[in-house]
Amino acid sequence: MPTATLKIFLAYGDPKRLRTAELSNWTGKAVSGPRSEFDKLLARDESLHSGVYFLTGTNPETNKSTIYIGEAECIRDRIKTHLSKDFWNNITFFITKDENLTKAHIKYIEGRLIDIARSDVKNSQGSGAKLPESDREDMEVFLENMQQVLPVLGVEAFVKTFSITDEEKQKDLLSCNIKNLKASGYLTPNGIVVLKGSQAVLEERDSAKKWPSVLVQRNTLIEEGALLKENGAYIFTKDVEFSSPSSAAATIHGGSANGLTAWVNSDGKQLKLLQNV
């Protein structure tokens, strides 16, 4: 993504309360805030515009982050219909300051967002819309700008897994070893990616019974098939991004682990020492 300047306005001075966000040289504008300030958000003039909106929260059945992605010709009227849904605790919507988003535009954007979302999406099928080639290109630029703004407002459903070149991977590759098993990975802005083919122990540590929350992600990966039993170990069937080196090491070790000491470079130097350089 290109460099950008982002202007955030805190309506009440609190970064968790109602705020707006705009990129320089872009007609788009975002408005975001907690459900507790629903009335204040809808009292703003921006809510009368057409646009795309996001309701974010936690799925009570899976305890995973979930999102509802919608479009409306009048944001205010449409969002009122979602008050009966109790999963969401934050709302974010995008409009254009020049009011150039047509019904077809916002349907196209909604469909594309549902396709690329990485979180649990409440509405898994978007309406979508066919657009002329020039309009599609314009909307793809609009989408790219939205993806720069959304994480800053706490909506991370569209954050892509960070990737590096093969040359960088060889230079910055880390390993996490235990019981003759080896896992490899590299640091990212979001945490650490453990590479496909890496190994993890089959047996969980005794401490896992005392602190089962440590292995929530490990168990989820097993359920999803991202970790499969093979030759006396679990094997990663795909690249998996973790929020921290410790959460990745816990999955590999089968229990609590200090990622700063568990991960080492090709010279055997621990991550904590590498980061102190």
In a shared domain, residues 148 and 186: no
In 43-89, where does DSSP find H-type helix? 75-80
Tens-digit pLDDT profile for residues 23-49: 999 999 999 999 999 999 999 999 999
In the chain, where does DSSP find H-type helix? 38-42, 75-80, 103-116, 133-149, 166-172, 207-210, 216-224, 245-253, 259-262, 271-274
Beta carbons of 156 and 146 less than 8 angstroms apart: no
* Residue 1 included in any domain: no
Separate counts of helices (H) and strands (E) for the chain? 10, 14
- Which of 107-116, 155-164, 175-184 is the most confident on average? 175-184
Find the helix packing angle between 245-253 and 216-224, rounded to 10°. 70
Cα dihedral: 135, 140, 141, 143 (round 10):
130
Beta carbons of 54 and 30 less than 8 angstroms apart: no
In a shared domain, residues 139 and 56: yes
* Residue where a domain terminates, one of 92, 122, 153: 153
According to DSSP, the residues that pair with 251 across neighbouring strands are: none
Tens-digit pLDDT profile for residues 62-80: 667 889 999 999 999 999 9
Tens-digit pLDDT profile for residues 245-274: 999 999 999 998 999 999 999 899 999 888
| 47-60: b (≥16 Cβ within 10 Å) or e | bebbbbbbbbbeee
How far apart (Å, rounded) are the C-alpha atoms in residues 189 and 192? 8
Beta carbons of 234 and 228 less than 8 angstroms apart: yes
The values of phi and psi at residue 163, to 5°, are -130, 155
pLDDT grade, residue 162 (50/70/90)? low
In a shared domain, residues 56 and 129: yes
In a shared domain, residues 36 and 115: yes
How far apart (Å, rounded) are the C-alpha atoms in residues 153 and 19? 9
Specify the pLDDT at position 58.
Answer: 83
Range of the domain at 269: 166-274
Residue 277 has pLDDT above 60, yes or no: no
In a shared domain, residues 147 and 75: yes
In a shared domain, residues 13 and 146: yes
Residue 164 has pLDDT above 60, yes or no: no
Tens-digit pLDDT profile for residues 192-207: 999 999 999 999 888 7
* Residue where a domain terminates, one of 132, 153, 174: 153
In a shared domain, residues 192 and 232: yes
In a shared domain, residues 127 and 223: no
Sheet-wide strand order for 233-236: 199-200, 233-236, 227-230
How far apart (Å, rounded) are the C-alpha atoms in residues 266 and 175? 8
Residue 239 has pLDDT above 60, yes or no: yes
Specify the pLDDT at position 129.
Answer: 74
